[in-house]
Structure 1
Amino acid sequence: MVKIAPSILSADFSRLLENVSEVEKAGVEYLHIDVMDGHFVPNISFGAPVLKSLKGKTNLFIDVHLMIENPDLYIKDFVDAGADLINVHIEACRHIHRTIQLIKSYGVKVAVTLNPGTPLHTLDEILPELDMVLLMSVNPGFGGQSYIESTTKKIEKLKKMISESGLNCEIEVDGGINLSNVKEVVKAGANIIVAGSAIFNTSDIDATVKAFRNAI
């Protein structure tokens, strides 16, 4: 089953809970939480208190994407705030295996993200430890960017790696996904689709989510 994960980076923060409730009623499965620190990526979003404000107010699976330096320092804060999965960038982790074990110690799922320019072989030693891999299909830091076409082949290669290893690891793709390319992304092997502006910046969220389902 393909899951849809709206990114709250594109939500209206003056009515955040209302937006979250809208996507939940529309039938999405995940809520994608993009955390940016202005150092690892050239933008700042929000911290754990914003996520904590939603705790107990939604039944969506909370997928926290830490686009930050020194993520180990903040993992517990986001788990306490309600994260069901912590996703760290391999480029930001000096000791990635240690970080993976730290996340697991809190009893939540673990994922690793690769930027567009990061090769798949960086996963060779850690793939069996992961619940999910997130492939960025834009350079992280800003919403509303265009999908990098070479990502499709990268998804296919990752899917083959996972299948040949007999692993149960999900593939999430984030960046520039819309109704015109989501079918291509899913066909390549992705089963979790992050969409921000393509969902939240529409006049009818319910109709947009249904359109995504039909496209998939």
Structure 2
Amino acid sequence: MSTLKIAPSILAADYANFASELARIEETDAEYVHIDIMDGQFVPNISFGADVVASMRKHSKLVFDCHLMVVDPERYVEAFAQAGADIMTIHTESTRHIHGALQKIKAAGMKAGVVINPGTPITVLEPLLDLVDQVLIMTVNPGFGGQAFIPECLEKVATLAKWRDEKGLAFDIEVDGGVDNKTIRACYEAGANVFVAGSYLFKASDLVSQVQTLRTALHD
């Protein structure tokens, strides 16, 4: 089984205090910082650009897991590589050139990830699996934090895990949306090993303890 990783989502943090919020994450045993990039076109919301990621990079040594919810993400590969992104995950629905975009990400020195929305058939992923380091399954519709978990998406996670084993591949399976101490175990049992959590973590004053509740739930 792949290493289990927790990825606090900075989208749920206090935007006026990114440096201190990153310091709070550094105090936990989380492996990633999940950064949602939204352009107001692919999804209705607008968040951060590469300049903000570059500023955050000065305050954290954790893995920056950048999820781009933007139209034609291949336009931004170099900018996010230079900003310090470690993983760049893009939507199959956002570009007509998904293979080329993934290859461009890897050529820029980042790990490449691919993601699908809850309503997208998982079959679109199968031709891409030998190109990627990570597959993200959205367990809410993307664009806003704090949404309710969609349990039907776990069938996609289980299918992905089956394909990974059958093909002898080693990509991570990440879940994002509504992940908390009540839903994380089902995600793990379906085959996920990277868990993005936003609202659940940042609503707590003690982030260290809140991350530990996820670890505990994984093993209960």
TM-score (norm. length: structure 1): 0.98
Could you tell me how far apart the structure 1 residues matched to 2:127 and 2:151 are? Answer: 27
> 2:144 pairs with 125, 130, 142, which one?
142
How many angstroms does 1:57 deviate by? Answer: 2.2
User: Which residue does 2:63 correspond to in 1?
Assistant: 61
Letter in 2 for 1:45: S
Partner-residue secondary structure (3-state), 1:121: helix
Residue in structure 2 matching 1:12, options 14, 17, 20? 14
Name 1:201's counterpart in structure 2: 203
Name structure 2 gaps, 5 residues minimum. none
Determine the C-alpha separation between the residues in 2 that align with 1:190 and 1:214. Answer: 16
Partner of 1:160: 162
Structure holding more helix per residue = 2
Cα deviation digits, residues 111-170 of structure 1 (max 9, x gap) = 000100111110121111110000000000100000001011111111001111100111
What is the alpha-carbon distance in structure 2 between the residues aligned to residue 151 and residue 124 of structure 1? 16
Of residues 173, 176, 195, the one that matches 1:174 is 176
1:187 deviates by 1.0
Q: Distance in 1 between matches of 2:156 and 2:103?
A: 26
Give 5+ residue unaligned stretches, structure 1. Answer: none
Aligned position for 1:184: 186
* TM-score in terms of structure 2 length: 0.96
Q: Distance in 2 between matches of 1:7 and 1:206?
A: 14
**Aligned counterparts of 2:126 and 2:104: Cα–Cα separation in 1:** 19
8 Å contact from structure 2 (residues 35, 65) kept in 1: yes
List structure 1 runs of 4+ shifted beyond 6 angstroms. Answer: none
1:85 aligns with 2:90: no
Contact 2:154–2:187 (Cα < 8 Å) also in 1: yes
Q: Which residue of 2 aligns with 1:128?
A: 130
**Aligned residues: percent identity?**
46
Instruction: Choose from 212, 215, 220 the match for 1:213.
Output: 215
Alignment length (residue pairs): 216
What code does the residue aligned with 1:126 have? Answer: L
Tell me, what secondary structure is at the counterpart of 1:206?
helix
- Supply the AA of the counterpart residue of 2:119: G
Distance (whole Å) between structure 1 residues aligned to residue 121 and residue 173 of structure 2: 15
Once the two structures are superposed, residues 22-71 of structure 1 have per-residue CA deviations (whole angstroms, 9 ceiling, x without a partner) of 11211100000100011000111111111111223211001110000011
Question: Secondary structure of 1:53's partner?
Answer: helix
Cα root mean square deviation, aligned: 0.8
